[in-house]
């Protein structure tokens, strides 16, 4: 998503007018490393590892898709004043490149997808050019336990480089989070193992669960929006073909995702024998505070339990 001319003007104004006041506020509140995180996943990791050694701004809020994000003047001021910017990467936040070029910053920018084996999506999929996502790469890599652990390691290295004096504390917190992720990964595997092979077909309202499906032995049957960008509406023919596939393969349930309107998925379920699962899975965003899905390990376990409860059978 590219900022509009109006937004670019607002960002420039934010740097001139709001930047100084933001810096004054930070100086008054402490001298921690100023960190900007793009998504809720990145923000959760940065907050856990950084603790009180950082002053954190998270750009995206729970329930907001990266495609839908528009930078505010306050966000622009935080970016301009940051010492470290951590991004999810894998082509997810192309809008950040535009913003950085407009605002200008001396911050170190770190991509937390480094070292992750990224999943290639169907090259025949419709173009995502308007949504800012590389149509050949699935950016939702955090939906695999091992990938989430790599994300934590990358964040730890970034914080080490930016603030060496607190390296020991970063190490301790990172090991604690990695331990939780390893435990969650093992529990997810146990839950999915309880689902009979013939009931492991997955249909969602957005093609974002690929890493989870590949990692834990499920099978993607299809998605309501057959593209990584939910602004690309499915055609009537697409929906008719998906409904036929759901019927012919005996799909048990259709899952909704927290950041995507569920009504079309609900309508498709009504045309088949599949159950529409009201409890959403979290893909583009972590859950809100108190949801149990507001950390990486909590999100993985939440998704596994929702899928298990719908597919394992009584």
| Domain identity same for 9 and 64 | yes
Query: Does the structure show a pLDDT above 90 at 59?
Result: yes
Pairing mode of beta strands 201-204, 219-223? parallel
Kindly report the pTM of this predicted structure: 0.85
The pLDDT score that the predictor gives to residue 72 is 92
Tell me what pLDDT residue 12 has.
Answer: 42
Into how many domains does the chain fold?
2
**Are 102 and 27 in the same domain?**
yes
User: Are residues 159 and 111 part of one domain?
Assistant: yes
**Residue 187 placed within a domain:** no
Residue 107 tokens read as 């911050």
Give percent above pLDDT 70 in the chain. Answer: 84
CATH number for position 85: 3.40.50.1980
**Domain end among 182, 217, 234:** 182
Identify the sign of the CA torsion 143, 206, 100, 43.
negative
Note the pLDDT of residue 182.
98
Distance CA 80, CA 107 (A): 8
Note whether 177 and 214 are same-domain residues. no
- Predicted confidence band of residue 122 (pLDDT cuts 50, 70, 90): low
Asked if residue 237 has pLDDT above 80, the reply is: yes
Strands 119-120 and 137-138, by their bridges, are: antiparallel
What is the percentage of the chain residues whose pLDDT exceeds 90? Answer: 68
The verdict on residue 280 lying in a domain is yes
pLDDT in tens, 73-93: 999 999 999 999 999 999 999
| Exposure of 164 in the CB half-sphere (CA atoms within 13 A) | 1
| Residues 246 and 144 placed together within one structural domain of the fold | no
Q: Verify that 198 and 120 share a domain, yes or no.
A: no
Domain boundary among 161, 182, 203: 182
Tell me the sheet residues that pair with 280: none
Residue showing tokens 């009931």:
199
296 and 232, same structural domain?
Answer: yes
pLDDT band, very low/low/confident/very high, at 133 (cuts 50, 70, 90)? very low
The two structure tokens encoding residue 16:
């001139």
- Among 150, 182, 214, which residue terminates a domain? 182
Q: Do residue 201 and residue 293 come from a single domain?
A: yes
Most confident listed range (23-27, 149-153, 278-282): 149-153
pLDDT at 19 over 80: no
Tell me, yes or no, whether 294 lies in a domain: yes
What does pLDDT average to over the chain?
86
38, 126: one domain: yes
Give domain status of residue 108, yes or no. yes
Q: Whole domain around residue 154: which residue ranges?
A: 5-182
Q: In this predicted model, which residue has the larger pLDDT, 201 or 130? A: 201
Residues 174, 92: one domain?
yes
Q: What is the pLDDT of residue 234?
A: 85
Is residue 255 within 8 Å of 281, Cβ to Cβ?
Answer: yes
Q: Does residue 286 share a domain with residue 240?
A: yes
Q: Are residues 142 and 212 in the same domain?
A: no
């Amino acid at each position: 998503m590219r900022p509009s001319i109006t937004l670019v003007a607002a960002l420039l104004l934010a740097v001139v007018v709001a930047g100084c006041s933001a810096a004054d506020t930070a100086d008054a509140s402490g001298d921690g490393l100023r960190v900007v995180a793009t998504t809720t996943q990145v923000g959760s990791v940065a907050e856990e590892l950084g603790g009180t050694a950082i002053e954190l701004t998270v750009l995206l809020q729970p329930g907001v898709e990266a495609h839908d994000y528009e930078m505010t003047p306050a966000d622009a001021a935080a970016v301009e004043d940051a010492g470290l910017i951590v991004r999810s990467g894998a082509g997810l936040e192309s809008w950040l490149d535009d913003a950085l070029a407009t605002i200008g910053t001396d911050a170190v920018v770190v991509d937390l997808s480094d070292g992750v084996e990224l999943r290639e999506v169907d090259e025949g999929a419709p173009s995502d050019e308007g949504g800012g996502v590389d149509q050949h790469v699935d950016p939702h890599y955090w939906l695999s336990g091992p990938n989430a652990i790599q994300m934590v390691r990358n964040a730890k290295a970034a914080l080490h480089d930016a603030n060496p004096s607190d390296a020991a504390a970063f190490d301790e917190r990172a090991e604690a989070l990695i331990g939780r992720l390893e435990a969650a990964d093992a529990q997810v595997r146990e839950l999915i193992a309880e689902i009979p092979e013939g009931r492991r077909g997955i249909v969602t309202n957005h093609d974002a669960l690929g890493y989870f499906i590949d990692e834990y032995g499920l099978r993607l049957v299809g998605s309501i929006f057959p593209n990584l960008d939910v602004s690309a509406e499915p055609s009537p023919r697409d929906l008719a073909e998906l409904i036929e596939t759901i019927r012919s393969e005996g799909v048990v349930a259709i899952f909704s995702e927290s950041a995507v309107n569920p009504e079309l998925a609900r309508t498709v379920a009504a045309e088949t024998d599949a159950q529409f699962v009201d409890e959403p899975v979290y893909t583009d965003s972590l859950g809100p505070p108190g949801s149990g899905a507001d950390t990486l390990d909590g999100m993985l376990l939440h998704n596994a339990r929702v899928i298990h409860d719908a597919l394992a059978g009584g």
